[in-house]
Amino acid sequence: MGNKNKTISFRVNEESFEALQSIAEERDISLSAVFRDYVEMLVAHDGQVQVVPEHQLDDSTTSPAESFPPKVEVPKSFVREHERLELESEHLREQLDEYKKYVTKLSQRLEEEENEEVIHLEDLDDGEEEEEPSFRLG
């Protein structure tokens, strides 16, 4: 059938509306984008989203299985490898920039040299068609 957007409307009290507007202004998005973000999060997490003010968050009272967003522990070796790869990619980008500058410099030199007259030795030989005697060692 197609993926059509649907409109949902509901009423909130004035205080809640103003709070939602301030959230939207803080995030520099429209009020409808706040609701879209919430709905997308709700759908993505199969209804397991709980909106709680930041000052009420307390990770020590909830067990890891109940906490949201879910937390995953990553081994230090993975983090170190990731950092090493980031440094290596940065180094390779720097090298690439250097090579690009070098190629640009060579291209400019080539353009400058194209303006000079170039004489090929083969062209000089074609002008003289005298045959030289050949010698044989034996």
How does pLDDT run across 50-61, given as a tens digit for each residue?
767 777 766 555
Structure tokens at 73: 């522990």
Q: Where are the domains of the chain?
A: 14-52, 76-115
Indicate the pTM of the whole model.
Answer: 0.34
How does pLDDT run across 32-78, given as a tens digit for each residue?
888 888 788 888 887 777 767 777 766 555 555 566 667 778 888 88
Distance (Å, whole) CA 23 – CA 37? 12
Mean predicted lDDT score pLDDT of the chain: 79
DSSP string of 17-55, one letter each residue: HHHHHHHHHHHTS-HHHHHHHHHHHHHHTTT------GG
**Which residue, among 47, 26, 24, 50, has the nearest Cα to 35 in the 3D structure?**
24
Residue with tokens 């074609």: 126
Residue 3: pLDDT band with limits 50, 70, 90: confident
